[in-house]
């Protein structure tokens, strides 16, 4: 208020009020296509790979738009390290990973065990384990196998399942969680 009892409206004050109203009125996303609960206006991803020695910690989505260069880095990071080949990862899977990380309320990165797999790598893994699907979503860049220090398989799986956006497999014996953007389903112990 100014001296005569009238309210002063400045451009900055109006913008602040609009921003506060926008935050309060922002929708909560649950199962809407491409939008995950917990993802927010800024989406980031934080992972490391002991197999390649690489780390990634970046914002890849801001206010409804994916950042093209960030996605290129994510694609390379999540490549088939055995064949050194990358593919465009499905952004829905990246969103599930990001939302799960946010729901876990931790600064810990995910350890990436497997992202994209070439057919050659998938065949090799199938020959060693009956738990590898012949037509795995890893072949399409739609899946990731992850673990996290300080969080159990159950905790990670619950966070991923809360997104209601794809498949979540618990592999407690091998200490990892499979996340994909396929049909919503949960399996494993």
Q: How many CB atoms lie within 10 A of CB 84?
A: 10
Q: How many CB atoms lie within 10 A of CB 18?
A: 10
Number of domains in the chain: 1
Give the CATH number for residue 40: 3.30.1380
- Pick the closest to residue 42 from 56, 62, 60 (CA basis): 62
Q: Is 131's pLDDT higher than 60?
A: yes
Owning domain of residue 33: 29-188
96-120 mean pLDDT: 95
Q: Are 36 and 165 in contact (CB under 8 A)?
A: yes
Give the largest CA-CA distance in the chain. Answer: 83
Does residue 10 lie within any of the structural domains?
Answer: no
Does residue 14 lie within any of the structural domains?
Answer: no
Residue 8's pLDDT is what? 44
Does residue 5 lie within any of the structural domains?
Answer: no
Query: Does pTM surpass 0.95?
Result: no
Does residue 72 lie within any of the structural domains?
Answer: yes
Residue 36's pLDDT is what? 54
Q: What φ, ψ does residue 158 adopt, rounded to 5°?
A: -65, -40
Does residue 164 lie within any of the structural domains?
Answer: yes
Residue 13's pLDDT is what? 43
Residue 158's pLDDT is what? 96
Does residue 70 lie within any of the structural domains?
Answer: yes
Residue 39's pLDDT is what? 53
- Between 57 and 128, name the one with better pLDDT: 57
pLDDT digits (tens, 9 = 90+) for 4-35: 444 444 444 433 443 443 333 333 333 333 44
């Amino acid at each position: 208020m100014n001296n005569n009892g009238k309210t002063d409206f400045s451009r900055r004050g109006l913008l602040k009020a609009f921003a506060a109203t926008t935050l309060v009125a922002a929708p909560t996303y649950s199962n809407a296509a491409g939008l995950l609960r917990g993802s927010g206006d800024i989406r980031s991803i934080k992972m490391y790979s002991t197999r390649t020695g690489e780390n990634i910690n970046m914002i890849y989505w801001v206010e409804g738009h994916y950042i093209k260069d960030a996605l290129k880095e994510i694609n390379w990071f999540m490549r088939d390290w055995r064949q050194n080949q990358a593919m465009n990862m499905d952004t829905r899977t990246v969103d599930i990973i990001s939302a799960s990380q946010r729901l876990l309320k931790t600064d810990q990165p995910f350890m990436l065990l497997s992202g994209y797999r070439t057919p050659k790598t998938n065949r090799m893994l199938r020959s060693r384990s009956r738990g590898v699907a012949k037509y795995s979503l890893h072949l399409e860049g739609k899946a990731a196998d992850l673990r996290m220090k300080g969080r159990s398989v159950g905790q990670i799986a619950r966070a991923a399942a809360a997104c209601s956006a794809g498949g979540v497999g618990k592999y407690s014996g091998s200490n990892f969680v499979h996340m994909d953007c396929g049909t919503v389903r949960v399996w494993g112990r």
